[in-house]
Amino acid sequence: MLFLGLTGSIATGKSTVSNLLRSPPYNLPIIDADVVARKVVEPGTPGYRAIVDYFGPTTPDLLLPASDPACRGREDGPTGKGRPLNRPALGRRVFGGGEETMRDRKKLNSIVHPAVRREMYKEMVWAYLKGQWAVVLDIPLLFESGWEKFCGTIMVVAVSEPEIQMQRLRARDPHLSEEDARNRVLSQTDVREKAERVMRRGKGAGVVIWNDSDREQLEKQVAQVMADIKKGSPQWWAWLQLICPPLAAVTALWSFWRMRNAQLQWEREKIQEKAKL
């Protein structure tokens, strides 16, 4: 089974491509890291309890009030397992400068990140057991979070100019000023660098969808790219790996080793470039 990594940057169209891949004619299972991150801290989960135990005593508004519509007027929340987290309040605790804020952010990450990885591993195994030929790992920070080495193929949704991102971002969120849009775009890794990085992986292991035009052109690109990807990882190969787990294990280890080397090579090249400056 192919692990198809999907990433991009703000306002490049990654979510649109993700929705295309989950729909006919592709019908691929999507493991969305953002959705999983919310799932692992829902009331009643170990992640939720760990956050409440650590942040609750010093953050009075950590949980949504019972009067909030999400709580349905119940003190124990809509499911009886506790009131949902007040994400803006938690965000104020962990984002910003200062030693204490940095310590709190590290603590939150130490709770959420392992839980997200475990849940994603479960969903990946389940997709394999269902005989899927591929599963999409929709991860905005795919390179930054270290998931690159798990992906046999990575698809980056990119645009050629930052101005395109800013225009689309302001069209989507009209309340943003030009400066706000620029700051949000520049706060992330340049998507053109991601495109360059993924192409260094070689043919079949990295593809770029250039989303500079309209949806029709985007759909045509996705169709062509997916046809090429499926040639290299057909359905019969997924069934063969399901029937023969040792083959699946060997294939996974070989892919991991190759992609890990590609990741290390890129990192070495970047270190060398910085040393020349």
Nearest CA-CA partner of 266 in 162, 187, 158, 189: 189
Largest CA distance in the chain: 61
Residue-by-residue pLDDT tens, the chain, 277 positions: 999 999 999 999 999 999 999 999 999 999 999 999 999 999 999 999 999 999 999 999 999 998 888 888 888 888 889 999 998 889 888 876 778 888 998 999 999 999 999 999 999 999 999 999 999 999 988 998 889 999 999 999 999 998 999 999 899 988 888 888 888 888 788 999 999 999 989 888 999 999 999 999 999 999 999 999 999 899 999 999 999 999 999 999 999 999 999 899 988 988 888 887 6
- Residue appearing with tokens 């007027």: 73
Which of these, 20, 73, 2, 63, lies nearest to 209 by C-alpha position? 20
**82 CA to centre of own chain:** 27
Are 133 and 2 contacting, i.e. CB atoms less than 8 angstroms apart?
A: yes
Domain boundaries for CATH 3.40.50.300 within the chain: 1-29+132-277, 35-129
What single-letter amino acid sits at 88? P
Place of tokens 């801290």: 41
The C-alpha atoms of residue 187 and residue 183 are separated, in whole angstroms, by 6
- pTM of the prediction? 0.88
What is the architecture of the domain spanning 35-129? 3-Layer(aba) Sandwich (3.40)
Place of tokens 């649109």: 16
Which architecture characterizes domain 1-29+132-277 according to CATH?
A: 3-Layer(aba) Sandwich (3.40)
Render the burial of 202-219: b for 16+ CB within 10 Å, e for the rest. eeebbbbbbbeeeeeebe
